[in-house]
Structure 1
Amino acid sequence: MAPENSTLQQSERTARLTAEGVAIWLDDLSRDRITSGNLAGLVETRGVVGVTTNPTIFAGALAQGSSYDEQLRGLEAPVAGADPDDAVWAVTTHDVREACDILRPVYDATGGVDGRVSIEVDPRLARDAEGTATLAERLWTLVDRPNLYIKIPATVEGLDAITRTVAAGISVNVTLIFSLERYSAVIDAYLTGLEQAVAAGLDVSRVGSVASFFVSRVDAAVDAALDEMGTDEAAGLRGKVAIANARLAYGVHLDTLAGDRWKALAEAGATPQRPLWASTGVKDPQYPDTLYVTELVAPGVVNTMPEATLEAVADHGTITGDTITPALDEARATLETLDSLGISLGEVTERLEEEGLEKFVTSWTELLATVTDGLSRTRA
């Protein structure tokens, strides 16, 4: 775990990344990070200005040690014979609320742009727009912090839930985006929600959003297909497709900001939905461990990193300025070459969405089991 206090100096490399317009978020949260002062230390020494969570992160946190035992003891009576989901939300919203409080000064200092903490809706509702929107409102009320983001998967059904949630004045982190087509639909869902909120007379100045565009999982899937081809041309695309895909997503973001639809919302006080690079931990040891950070630098983006990636950037990341905008033509050429090889990126990203949802549902099941076991253990 990274330094727990502020005795270490701010990393020059992460400071440079921040100066280039990249918001550094931590892709992890646990009770230990909060109580030990680790999260506060990362804010000071690594420039962390946000936190993302998901069911897998919470399942891992609750499975380790005894940090949650005291709270679980207090939950025994209320949850006895009740829905175990209630116990899960009690535990996870507690951590998110505490993290929101730690990051509140960042939220205030940035006018609500950063200092955000995300909590994900039940992934079993990913195909249920109404259920997702209802749970989003419940979580917003439970955490009761203005610097919260509700994470909603970018399924087709999730698009309607995003619009409903934003229209209600609730900030959203749209997760599990893999394709440019779905990303464009996510942007439309956000803008539609803002337009409905403005029409209803709501103050949209503090309604924020990020769109979590997944990176390393794309390379892992595409590289496997390229390896099966076994040609020099295929080998030349290894480790390039995910970055090209993300860079073109940034191009879509820039086009949105230049459009009349967004300009009208900006005049009403709305804030842009920033691209967030997710799944930035390198999965192939042949690649530099900072690859999905240093190659995706541009103003107005977020990069949420697992701790190992964050520490790698702080130690030896080479930040050379904007690595996206000058490379947009190259990114288009990369995807055209992939298509010419007969690999459908659309089919790959569709499969990745399904696999991502399955993994989160599995983690949710594990989370429920861990909490149930914890209740039994603390009751004994």
Structure 2
Amino acid sequence: MSAPLEQLSAAGVSVWLDDLSRSRLASGGLAQAIADTSVVGVTTNPTIFAAALRDGGAYAEQVAQLAAEGGSVDAAIDAVTCADVGQACDVLRPVYDRTDGADGRVSIEVPPHLARDAEGTVEYACRLVRAIDRPGTMIKIPATEEGLDAITRVVAEGISVNVTLIFALGRYRRVVEAYINGLERAREAGHDISQIHSVASIFVSRVDTEFDRRLEEIGTPEALALRGRAGLANCRLAHRIAGEQFDSERFRVLAAAGARRQRPLWASTGTKNPAYPDTMYVTGLVTEGCVNTMPEATLRAFADHGEVHGDTVVDGYAQADEDLDALSRLGIDYAQAMDRLEAEGLEKFEASWDELAGSVGEQLAAAREERA
């Protein structure tokens, strides 16, 4: 076991792996990661599945069966991805049991084209839960305006949710409210709310990419000195919001009935700027009761040379306020930047979904030709 990862886990950070593939499952790679690198959960998204499906070999047998059954591309995508998530849930089941459902989680996202469709998101989320049929399943829903309503309604069904694609602090506050609304409705409907878990995925490196670009356009020494600061500052202030929301009397009533806090999850934690330390979005976001989902490269980097220096989130509130204030003084429009990041994030996921659909369609066609 890696000492840095052990220290990170001991500090209260749940380490999740931001990757999943049939080959990783078949080779025992996921089980090995759990044993050797403190991994206690998995996140997926259309980009990850599109990459996995590029190597059709691992999926050939299932795709051939789906082709023989005459299913559509969309049905095949559901079958393939749900199978992977179900297997991953099985591998992580001991972690799920040991942590009473807090970890041992595997996230699967509703299709990106539903990001502006609350009704469609709710229906699809319920379908995924039925198809996977594992208690460790967590449904990912983007934090769009329409997604907020879907989050409340899905949680009200007793379903655990990973709210993804969060950038702006104002939107994050509403995400927490949507979760609490859902818990209240779930309780009214008679669900055991102690079994509902949620994480809120706040993106980090993409924020720095956008703000650094704006800072470099300004080009002054003061502006350039703020590069690489916005992402961490944003996450730290989101954590402060979570503390305020979950320390409220409203949530205390729910907690008395068994409700769990929605944990902040630091996403997009691989550094995109090679000038930055490859572990900066791990070392800089250590605090009790959070999740850090890492691509494999970041996980390996932290296992090799990561450092834990106590709580770097709560102790960083004041600096975070100063950093965002400094960005505002330079004329950088925080709201505009975050809106752009949300739009770009959705576009990227839609493109990955189209790539995934194209790959599955090609493999189905090839399997049908082979049978003909």
Bin of the TM-score, shorter chain as denominator length: over 0.9
What TM-score, normalized by structure 1, do the two folds share?
0.96
Q: Does residue 244 of the first structure (1) align with residue 233 of the second (2)?
A: yes
1:349, distance to aligned residue in structure 2 (A):
0.7
Describe how 1:229-378 pairs up with structure 2 within 5 A. Answer: 229-378=218-367
Structure 2 residue aligned with 1:7 = none
* 1:209 maps to amino acid: S
What is the aligned counterpart of 1:100 among 84, 89, 95? 89
Q: Does the CA-based 8 Å contact 2:212-2:228 persist in structure 1?
A: yes
What is the aligned counterpart of 2:189 among 200, 207, 210? 200
1:378, distance to aligned residue in structure 2 (A):
2.6
Q: Distance in 2 between matches of 1:11 and 1:376?
A: 45
What is the aligned counterpart of 1:160 among 125, 149, 155? 149
Q: Distance in 1 between matches of 2:78 and 2:25?
A: 17
Q: Does the CA-based 8 Å contact 2:269-2:298 persist in structure 1?
A: yes
Q: Distance in 1 between matches of 2:334 and 2:37?
A: 35
Q: Distance in 2 between matches of 1:64 and 1:235?
A: 42
1:261, distance to aligned residue in structure 2 (A):
1.1
Structure 1 residue aligned with 2:164 = 175
Q: Distance in 2 between matches of 1:200 and 1:221?
A: 42
* 1:317 maps to amino acid: G
Q: Does residue 125 of the first structure (1) align with residue 146 of the second (2)?
A: no
1:345, distance to aligned residue in structure 2 (A):
1.4
1:83, distance to aligned residue in structure 2 (A):
3.1
Q: Distance in 2 between matches of 1:320 and 1:84?
A: 48
Q: Distance in 1 between matches of 2:272 and 2:254?
A: 39
Q: Distance in 2 between matches of 1:272 and 1:114?
A: 13
Q: Give deviations 1:132-151, integer Å, cap 9, x for gaps.
A: 00000000000000111000
Structure 1 residue aligned with 2:28 = 37
Structure 1 residue aligned with 2:2 = 11
* 1:304 maps to amino acid: T
Q: Give deviations 1:62-105, integer Å, cap 9, x for gaps.
A: 00251000110111122x2x531000000000000000000000
1:375, distance to aligned residue in structure 2 (A):
1.3
Q: Distance in 1 between matches of 2:111 and 2:170?
A: 24
Structure 2 residue aligned with 1:140 = 129
1:326, distance to aligned residue in structure 2 (A):
1.0
Identity %: 57
Describe how 1:107-118 pairs up with structure 2 within 5 A. Answer: 107-118=96-107
Q: Distance in 1 between matches of 2:246 and 2:344?
A: 32
Structure 2 residue aligned with 1:61 = 52
Q: Does the CA-based 8 Å contact 2:56-2:363 persist in structure 1?
A: no
Q: Distance in 2 between matches of 1:354 and 1:83?
A: 29
* 1:70 maps to amino acid: E
Q: Tell me, which stretches of 5 or more residues in structure 1 are unaligned? A: 1-9
Number of aligned residue pairs: 369
Structure 2 residue aligned with 1:3 = none
* 1:151 maps to amino acid: K
Q: Does residue 75 of the first structure (1) align with residue 57 of the second (2)?
A: no
* 1:194 maps to amino acid: L
Q: Distance in 2 between matches of 1:123 and 1:241?
A: 26
Deviates more, 1:200-209 or 1:91-100: 200-209
SS of residue in 1 equivalent to 2:165: strand
Q: Distance in 1 between matches of 2:336 and 2:82?
A: 36
Q: Give deviations 1:325-375, integer Å, cap 9, x for gaps.
A: 111011001000000000011111100100100111111111111001111
What TM-score, normalized by structure 2, do the two folds share?
0.98
1:256, distance to aligned residue in structure 2 (A):
1.7
Structure 1 residue aligned with 2:16 = 25
1:257, distance to aligned residue in structure 2 (A):
2.2
SS of residue in 2 equivalent to 1:24: strand
Q: Distance in 1 between matches of 2:351 and 2:27?
A: 29
Structure 2 residue aligned with 1:224 = 213
Q: Does residue 90 of the first structure (1) align with residue 79 of the second (2)?
A: yes
